[in-house]
Copies of this chain bind each other. A is one copy, B any other.
Amino acid sequence: MSVLIVGSTALDSIKTPQAENPRLLGGSASHAAVAASFFAPVKLIGVVGGDFPARYVQLYKKHRIDLSGLQMEKGNTFHWSGEYEVNMNNRRTLLTELGVFEKFTPHLPEPHKQSAFVLLANIAPALQHHVLDQMTRPKFVVADTMDLWLNIALGDLLRLLPRIDGFVLNDSEAHQLTKQDNVFAAMKAIHRLGPKYVIIKKGSHGSILSSPKGFFICPAYPLRKVVDPTGAGDSFVGGLMGYLSTARGAIDANIRRAMIHGSVVASFCCEGFGLNRTTRVKRAEIASRVRELEQLTKF
């Protein structure tokens, strides 16, 4: 089955202590869509402006991403600029130009409304609602978020949680949302807000799933060098949903391996600026890192 992905489609200008990279293809939906494309056909919902480079449309197409839901509007593409510190753990936003994103209203083409697997990648919860409102009867809906929405759109987010099956957020966001320091206590509190599946991302420390079948501790792939972590979380959840949408059997039977595959795609994402490394990944490389993770966690 295919996976429908809505989120931001952006141009990212990323500064690290080593290099400056202007106007890379970025945004939560771009990272998630490319990651998912290794496992499943992807339908992308987003918006870009007149300045959106043709080579990025080609990149989407190279990954066989269905662009019939990608709106092209007059104006500039959403542009984000950020700078990482030496240790790659802290980043600060230098500039946010919303451009065409400011008035973005996702419109789903008719066939998209039947999609079984829906990833509401990180965008305003109101837009995530708007996509869900148009869906007929999705089988499995996962939403991602960020601290910004906890700060300025908490009501919308809290109303979204009962409408989704899985919720993905990082540990500091989980703390902010639940006021629980302990990650397992936080996950329990988030279940009470709606989602049956809660996944907490911990960057290089991996991620944790809390599900009806209990916890799963998912490792991060050991990277000796991180070039640019932008989009790693989006790649993780994109890979996860791509894998899940084509795996046979119940969600519970597949979600652990789906997380492992997401974790592996996220590791490739960190090895290059923007999507530079991810877009060159071969299926055999993914399979190889999955086997490595099996070895790394066996006891």
Interface check A214, CB cutoff 8 A: yes
Query: Which one of A86, A205, A259 has the greatest number of beta carbons of chain B within 10 Å?
Result: A205
Beta-carbon contact of B185 and A225 below 8 Å: yes
A56 close to chain B: CB less than 8 A: no
CB-CB under 8 A for A185 and B298, given A202-B205, A205-B205, A217-B219: no
Verify if A93 is at the interface (C-beta below 8 Å from B): no
Check: A285 CB closer than 8 A to any chain B CB. no
Q: Which residues of A contact B (CB under 8 A)?
A: 86-89, 181-185, 188, 202, 204-206, 208, 214-219, 222-226, 256-257, 259-260, 294-299
Instruction: Determine if B215 and A87 form an interchain contact, defined as CB atoms under 8 angstroms apart.
Output: no
Q: How many copies does the complex hold?
A: 2
Q: B residues within 8 A CB of A294?
A: 299
Given A183-B204, A184-B224, A204-B183, the answer on whether A299 and B260 have CB atoms closer than 8 Å is yes
Q: Are A299 and B256 in touch, CB under 8 angstroms?
A: yes
**Residues of the B chain whose Cβ atoms lie less than 8 Å from the Cβ of A256:** 298-299
Chain B residue contacts of A184, Cβ below 8 A: 222-224
10 additional A-B pairs beyond A217-B222, A256-B298, beta carbons within 8 Å, are A88-B181, A89-B181, A182-B225, A184-B223, A185-B224, A185-B225, A188-B224, A216-B297, A217-B297, A260-B299
Check if B181 sits within 8 Å of A86, measured CB to CB. yes
Query: When the two chains form their complex, are residues A182 and B299 in contact, meaning their CB atoms are under 8 A apart?
Result: no
**Distance in Å: Cβ of A117 to nearest Cβ of chain B:** 20
Cβ distance A291 to chain B, nearest Cβ, rounded Å: 12
Max chain B C-beta neighbours (<10 A), residue from A208, A219, A223, A295: A219
A16 to B42 Cα, complex, angstroms: 51
Contact (Cβ within 8 A) B217 A87: no
Once the chains are docked, how many angstroms separate the CA of A225 from the CA of B214?
17
Q: 16 A–B contact pairs at CB < 8 A?
A: A86-B181, A88-B181, A183-B204, A184-B222, A184-B223, A185-B224, A205-B206, A206-B217, A208-B222, A214-B296, A215-B222, A217-B222, A256-B299, A259-B299, A294-B299, A297-B297
Residue of B nearest to A220 (CB): B217
Instruction: Indicate the member of A89, A184, A294 with the most B CB atoms within 10 Å.
Output: A184
